[in-house]
Amino acid sequence: MKKLFAIVLLALPMAVHAQKVKPNVQVKGTLKNIKDTLSIIYANYAANGKRVVDSANVVNGQYAFNISLSEPVRVQFSAKNAANKKARLTQRNVASVFIEPGIINVASVDSFTNVSVKGSKSHIEFEKLNLASKPYESQLQVLYKQYSEFNKNKNKVAADKVEASIDSLDEIQRENVYGSYLKKNPNSPIALYTLKTYTGYELLVDKVEPLFNLLSSTVKSSPAGVEFKAKIETAKLTGIGREALDFTQNDTLGVAVKLSSLRGKYLLIDFWASWCGPCRRENPNVVKVFNQFKDQGFHIIGVSLDQPNAKEKWLKAIHDDQLTWTHVSDLKYWDNEVAKLYGIQAIPQNLLLDPDGKIIAKNLRGEALGKKLESIFSKQSNVKSEAQSKGK
């Protein structure tokens, strides 16, 4: 399921707190009639090739940030409640604002999320997009709640039906909201953000590239535009029918394993990590399929995006989940070399290769993987039976 399974991994370096470029954005924030005692405001955003986490103290209901930008970006502002230091981050103390070079005034009235923004044309467009998305998001929230309840009660049949409804509605939202907006507003200051949202974690070249080509030359030549174009090119290299890009990475014993050395069987490249909840929940399905087809010519190579100095956690997850296939990792977390080679933006993700190393399917989860392999091996069995019959 696109929205429920994916853990998005930002293809950016780890967070930084200092900026060398001279600030060209001044954010002036005000808080009025808010019941919570907010002491610190955090700003989390990606700019100039870095993910930045900054903070500002609230003084007399006001806070300020000086930020360096080369293009409009979405900033997630979050507020710390001084009266409850252990309080978790909730929707009521998080607000998303699009900012751009200049002076941006952000006013929160009655609640932190109830913001009005002045000085940002990009935020005006952002609000239009949010308004168009609202009906779909409301329906999705209802479906998420149903999915959670069915899962809690272990009602798999009902959960699967809701999952299909979520995927269907998500696809409709992408086309009707984000795709439609891009076609009508290719020069919008939030065009690239909209395209990224439309794309999701799996970049489908046939759908995404035509929309990217609609964007202005200024957007395409921006740092973020150039980076996105590179992702499109990577996706072309890892599409269905292409030969899987070869790689070498160490297994759990430190022995180098080359992907091409595993040819001759149907092979699943499974991107996961011990810290990834959706991956761990999917593992029982993968184990079931592996045990069913391993003697018929099926194998798996797990590529883990585990963190540096977390080898023991990686090994424990392999043991606990009974993942009895080939495992490799460079323990570089988001910077895993294989993940970058394949343009992996979220996990779990997988690619199914044929015995010649060509990609024949992607992101098969739950029963889909088993059905695909059942189809493959049943055809092989039928062909073999026919050949034997003719030979008699």
Show the CA angle centred on residue 120, arms to residues 114 and 122, nearest 5°.
Answer: 95
Half-sphere exposure of 366 (CA within 13 A, CB side): 12
- pLDDT of amino acid 90: 54
- pLDDT of amino acid 22: 77
**Chunked mean pLDDT (size 10), the chain, 392 residues:** 49 43 89 90 86 93 93 92 58 87 96 94 96 95 93 86 91 96 94 94 92 93 90 93 97 97 97 95 95 96 97 98 98 95 93 97 91 90 60 58
Is residue 73 within 8 A of residue 52, CB to CB? The reply is no
Burial (CB count within 10 angstroms: exposed 0-12, middle 13-18, buried 19+), residue 136: middle
- pLDDT of amino acid 36: 81
Residue closest to 307 by CA, chosen among 279, 331, 338, 335? 331
Distances, alpha carbon 265 to alpha carbons 42, 283, 297, 298, 339, in Å? 50, 21, 5, 6, 22
- pLDDT of amino acid 389: 59
Residue closest to 17 by CA, chosen among 48, 51, 40? 51
Residue closest to 115 by CA, chosen among 141, 137, 94? 94
Report which secondary-structure segment, H or E, holds 26: strand 25-32
Is residue 216 within 8 A of residue 192, CB to CB? The reply is no
- pLDDT of amino acid 11: 39
**C-alpha to C-alpha distance for 255 and 159, rounded to whole angstroms:** 41
- pLDDT of amino acid 12: 40
* Token pair 């500002």: residue: 56
Residue closest to 127 by CA, chosen among 142, 115, 139, 141? 115
Alpha-carbon Rg of the chain, whole angstroms?
24
**C-alpha to C-alpha distance for 62 and 59, rounded to whole angstroms:** 5
Does the model's pTM come out above 0.85? no
